[in-house]
Amino acid sequence: MSIELKTKYGQIDISTDVIAIIAGGAAIENYGIIGMASKNQIKDGITEILKKENFKRGIIVRQENDEVHIDMYIIVSYGTKISEVAHNVQTKVKYTLSQTVGLAVDSVNIFVQGVRVTNP
């Protein structure tokens, strides 16, 4: 599946996997994020931290009418304020997708799948 962007020069189709990888990369750069988690936690079993090539398993990209919505499943660091971490991820993902591919994201929904203690 792909997202269609219409410009004055023509149409651009961007794969949802590419958008997921860009969004995941932007998300894990934020303070308080341990990593991305699988969206099918019950099916996959224990919460695992996904590697960069598997970000699409932890991110859902949907296009409804002309709006783009992203659902992200993350693991946060113990001792951080979850609401602040989620807000920072939302802001960073929207900004990064806007700057890299010119995609205006209408919503970034954050689902915290776990809390982990980081190694000192």
2-116 has which fold? Answer: Alpha-Beta Plaits (3.30.70)
pLDDT of residue 38: 76
What is the rounded distance in angstroms from the CA atom of residue 17 to the CA atom of residue 89? 18
Structure tokens given for 46? 């224990």
pLDDT of residue 7: 82
Report the C-alpha dihedral over residues 84, 85, 88, 90, rounded to 10 degrees: -110
Do you know the residue count of the chain? 120
- pLDDT band, residue 107 (cuts 50/70/90): very high
Question: Which percentage of the chain shows pLDDT scores above 70?
Answer: 83
Whether residue 47 is predicted with pLDDT greater than 70 in this model: the reply is no
Per domain, the residue ranges of the chain are: 2-116
pLDDT of residue 1: 77
pTM for this predicted structure: 0.81
- Mean pLDDT, residues 45-53: 58
Given the structure tokens 């019950």, which residue do they identify? 42
Which of 21-25, 41-45, 87-91 has the weakest average pLDDT? Answer: 41-45
